[in-house]
Amino acid sequence: METFESVVHYEVADGIATITLDSPANRNALSRALVNGLDQGLRAAEADDGVRVVLIQSSGKVFCSGADLSEALTEGMEAGARRIVELQRFIVTMSKAVVTKNLGAVRAGGIGIIASADVAIAAEDSTFALTEVKLGLAAAIISLTVHHRMNPRAAALTTLGGETFTGTQAAAYGLVTEAVPADQLDARTAEVCASLATGAAQGIRESKRILNRELVERIDAHGEDMATLSARLFASDEAREAMTAFLSRGR
């Protein structure tokens, strides 16, 4: 097993590259280290001719808690927002099929990783929330992928309300491919990955290019604007006050 940035683990077996997010101290928040480690893992998989499928999972129940608010307060989100746009675009344009598996919580920016993937398998009782609105922010950079996947009514409800919804609801909304009982999650994900791995490299690459053509166009057309908006909102007094209060409650 290889490790990137000490918070992301990588291993390959049977044509499947497994990338495991392992930063429990900040609930797998999208810190510089986690984003860089995930990027390194994805690029290693992309460069490996033996890999057909990439599985992104977490070591614990929290798949990803969203932006690292501590870093956002101290460093701003100018570079971070663009980095996450680039990460989503890379997942979407990889020549490998990308699968996500989440047992537990996914919040805010983490949902962008789920939405970027080609196939997303979730536990029925896992939880999702686009919490940005509660902090004076908006689901800006992840709207590129999230709102492409979700049906419009569900996108409005979850984005404007910021409330928690389940894996079962996420499947009904179009955000994830399938929701299964938690005790069946590993087996079902393994079954899906094994099936995808039987595809020929050229077939996967060209099929994915067709499937994601409109999504790539969406990211390229609006990515810079969304990154600029995200950075501006994170820097606003309203959001900084809300983030500071949120972090204080968490200590």
Q: Per residue in 174-223, pLDDT tens?
A: 999 999 999 999 999 999 999 999 999 999 999 999 999 999 999 999 99
What is the model's pTM? 0.97
The per-residue pLDDT of the chain, averaged, comes to 97
| Residue 13 C-beta-side C-alpha neighbours within 13 Å | 7
Q: Is the pLDDT of residue 250 over 80?
A: no
Let me know if residue 7 belongs to a domain: yes
Tens digits of residue pLDDT in 10-47:
999 999 999 999 999 999 999 999 999 999 999 999 99
- Which residue has 């460093």 as its token pair? 75
Q: Is residue 239, in this structure, part of any structural domain at all?
A: no
What φ, ψ does residue 249 adopt, rounded to 5°? Answer: -70, -30
pLDDT bracket for residue 251 (50, 70, 90): very low
Q: Is residue 175 part of a domain?
A: yes
User: CA-to-CA distance for 2 and 153, rounded, in angstroms?
Assistant: 42
Q: What are phi and psi of 83, to 5 degrees?
A: -65, -40
CA nearest to 63, candidates 100, 92, 104: 104
Residue 33 lies in a domain: yes
| Cβ neighbours, 10 Å, residue 115 | 25
pLDDT at 249: 86
CATH code of 66's domain? 3.90.226.10
Is position 247 within any domain?
Answer: no
pLDDT tens-digit series, residues 79-128: 999 999 999 999 999 999 999 999 999 999 999 999 999 999 999 999 99
β-bridge pairing 165-166 and 16-21? unpaired
- 172 within some domain: yes
85 contacts: CB under 8 Å, gap ≥ 6: 141, 144, 219, 223, 224, 226, 227
Tokens 């663009």 locate to: 82
Q: How many domains does the structure of the chain reveal? A: 1
Rounded Cα distance between 115 and 174, Å, is: 9
Pairing between β-strand 53-58 and β-strand 119-123 as defined by DSSP bridges: unpaired
* Segment 141-145 mean pLDDT: 98
Determine, yes or no, domain membership for 151: yes
| Domain limits for position 113 | 2-183
In a domain, residue 237? The reply is no
Task: Answer for the pair 155, 146: CB distance below 8 angstroms, yes or no.
Answer: yes
Q: Is the dihedral of CA 42, 45, 47, 52 positive or negative?
A: negative
